[in-house]
Amino acid sequence: MEITGILRRKAGFSLVEITVSLVIGAIGLLALAGVLVYTMQSNRYATDVSIATALARQKIEQIKLTDYNYVVTQTESQLDQNGRVDSGGGKYTRVTTVTANQAGPNTKSIDVTVYFSTDLADTVKKAVVSTIIYP
């Protein structure tokens, strides 16, 4: 039996079939890459919201340990994720707003808002934590 006869009888893939399968695979990989980018952006945003909420809660705890008469409105800029001022330009700004007698006599309503912007968009996001204190 000749080798050429054996080779002719074997079935295989044509160049067109291989090209079509490669194109379909490439389209699938591109779709998967889009999902991956979206997932990474969502995870980054969730991390930023968690850090901003933790910074707001941290400030509320500091206020609860402060004497009632010394709780005032203030703004802290360029904070890092630990609540320390970052000379390199932290991405978080914490604004503490104190309103007297809003919830009742001899009370102070405290709103701590932490602003941040994501690297992927110019819009500013925020996390807000509120409490009421009394002497």
110 within some domain: yes
Q: Which domain holds residue 33?
A: 13-133
2 within some domain: no
6 within some domain: no
| Total number of domains in the chain | 1
pLDDT tens, 89-100?
788 999 999 999
| Burial annotation 53-65 (CB, 10 A radius, 16+ → b, else e) | ebbbebbbeebee
8 within some domain: no
3 within some domain: no
pLDDT tens, 28-74?
999 899 899 999 989 998 999 999 999 999 999 999 999 999 999 99
4 within some domain: no
> What are the residues whose beta carbons fall under 8 Å from the beta carbon of 47, sequence distance 6 or more?
none
pTM of this structure: 0.76
93 within some domain: yes
